[in-house]
A and B are shown apart, each in its own frame.
Chain A
Amino acid sequence: MVSSPNEMPVAVEPGAFDAAAAAVEAALAAGARYADARLVDRRHEAMTALDGDVRSLSQTTAAGLGVRALVGSSWGFAALGDPSGDADARRTGERATAIARASAAVPGPSMELVAVPPQVGGWSSECLEDPFAVPLSEKGDLLTSVTATMKAAGVAVAEALSQAWDTRTAFVSSEGARIGQHLRETGAGMHCLTVGEGETQRRSYPAFRGQYGTRGWELVRSLDLPGHAERIAAEAQELLTAPLCPSGETTLLLGGEQMSLQIHESVGHAIELDRILGWEAAYAGTSWLDLTRLGSPRFGSELMNITIDPTIPGALGSFGFDDEWTPAHARDAVRHGVWVGVLAGRDSAAVAGLDYAGSVRADGYARLPMVRMTNVGLEPGPHTLEEMIAATDDGVLMEHNRSWSIDDRRLNFQFGCEIGWEIRNGRRGRLLRNPSYTGIGPRFWSSLDMLGGAAPGEWQAWGTPNCGKGQPGQVGHTGHGAAPARFAGVRVGVRG
Chain B
Amino acid sequence: MSATEPLVDAVLEEVRRQAGASASAVVRAEHASSALTRFADSAIHQNVADERVSVHLSLTVEGGRTASASTTRASDAGSLVAAALAAARLRPQDPSWPGLGEPAPVASSGSWDEATAAASPDDRAAGVRAFVDAAGGLSCAGYVQTSALTAVLGTTAGQLVRGATTSATCDGIARLSGADGVARSMSAFLGDLSFAALGARAAAKARAGVDARPVEPGAYPVVLEPAAVTDLVAALVTGQLNGKAVVDGTSGIRLGSPQFDAAVTLVDDPLGGVGLPFDTEGTPTGRLELVRDGVPVALTTDRRTAAQLGRSSSGHASDGSDTWGPVATSPSLAGGSGGSVDDLVAGLERGLLVSDFWYTRVVDPKRSVWTGLTRNGVWLVEDGRLAAPVSTLRFTQSYLEALAPGAVTAGSDVDPQPQRLTWQAASRVAVPALRLAAWNITGNATG
A residues neighboring B (CB under 8 Å): 48, 53-64, 74-82, 95, 98-109, 135-137, 140, 144, 156-157, 193, 195, 198-200, 277-283, 285, 366-368, 370, 402-409, 411-412, 414, 416, 434, 436, 438, 440, 443, 471-473, 494-496
Provide the residues of chain A in CB contact with B66, threshold 8 Å.
Answer: 56-57
Assess the B41–A278 pair: CB atoms within 8 A.
Answer: yes
Closest-by-CB residue of A relative to B360 is A405
Give me 13 other A-B pairs in contact (C-beta within 8 A), A57-B66, A79-B49, A105-B129 excluded. A56-B68, A78-B48, A106-B42, A107-B43, A109-B43, A195-B249, A199-B364, A278-B41, A282-B143, A283-B420, A405-B361, A471-B145, A496-B364
Number of A-B pairs whose CB atoms are under 8 Å?
275
Interface majority SS on B: helix, strand, loop or mixed? strand
Provide the residues of chain A in CB contact with B91, threshold 8 Å.
Answer: 54, 57, 136-137, 140
Provide the residues of chain A in CB contact with B371, threshold 8 Å.
Answer: 403, 405, 414, 416, 494, 496
Provide the residues of chain B in CB contact with A443, threshold 8 Å.
Answer: 447
Assess the B444–A282 pair: CB atoms within 8 A.
Answer: no
Assess the A140–B73 pair: CB atoms within 8 A.
Answer: no
Closest-by-CB residue of B relative to A111 is B45
Contact of A76 among B40, B47, B87, B373 (CB under 8 A): B47
Assess the B367–A199 pair: CB atoms within 8 A.
Answer: yes
How many residues does chain B have at the interface if contact means C-beta atoms less than 8 Å apart?
96
Assess the B445–A102 pair: CB atoms within 8 A.
Answer: no
Contact of A414 among B52, B248, B249, B394 (CB under 8 A): B394
Closest-by-CB residue of B relative to A195 is B249
Closest-by-CB residue of B relative to A161 is B323
Say yes or no for B443: interface residue by CB 8 A criterion.
Answer: yes
Provide the residues of chain A in CB contact with B72, threshold 8 Å.
Answer: 61-64, 81-82
Q: How far is the CA of A2 from the CA of B71 in the complex (A)?
A: 28
Q: How far is the CA of A278 from the CA of B371 in the complex (A)?
A: 25
Assess the B445–A411 pair: CB atoms within 8 A.
Answer: yes
Assess the A281–B180 pair: CB atoms within 8 A.
Answer: yes
Given A57-B66, A137-B90, A409-B445 contact (CB < 8 Å) = yes
Closest-by-CB residue of B relative to A44 is B70
Provide the residues of chain B in CB contact with A411, threshold 8 Å.
Answer: 445-446
Provide the residues of chain B in CB contact with A193, threshold 8 Å.
Answer: 248-250
Residues facing A in B111-168 (CB within 8 A) are 120-122, 124-126, 128-129, 132, 139, 141-143, 145
Assess the A55–B48 pair: CB atoms within 8 A.
Answer: no
Provide the residues of chain A in CB contact with B11, threshold 8 Å.
Answer: none
Assess the A144–B92 pair: CB atoms within 8 A.
Answer: yes
Q: How far is the CA of A108 from the CA of B171 in the complex (A)?
A: 19
Q: How far is the CA of A54 from the CA of B43 in the complex (A)?
A: 49
Assess the A60–B47 pair: CB atoms within 8 A.
Answer: no
Provide the residues of chain A in CB contact with B303, threshold 8 Å.
Answer: none
Assess the B323–A56 pair: CB atoms within 8 A.
Answer: yes
Assess the B359–A405 pair: CB atoms within 8 A.
Answer: yes
Closest 5 CB pairs of A and B: A81-B52, A102-B121, A108-B43, A81-B72, A496-B369
Q: Can you list 19 contacts pairing A with B, beta carbon distance less than 8 Å?
A: A57-B87, A61-B71, A76-B48, A82-B72, A95-B49, A101-B121, A140-B90, A156-B248, A200-B250, A200-B364, A366-B50, A367-B48, A407-B392, A416-B361, A434-B364, A438-B442, A438-B443, A472-B145, A496-B369
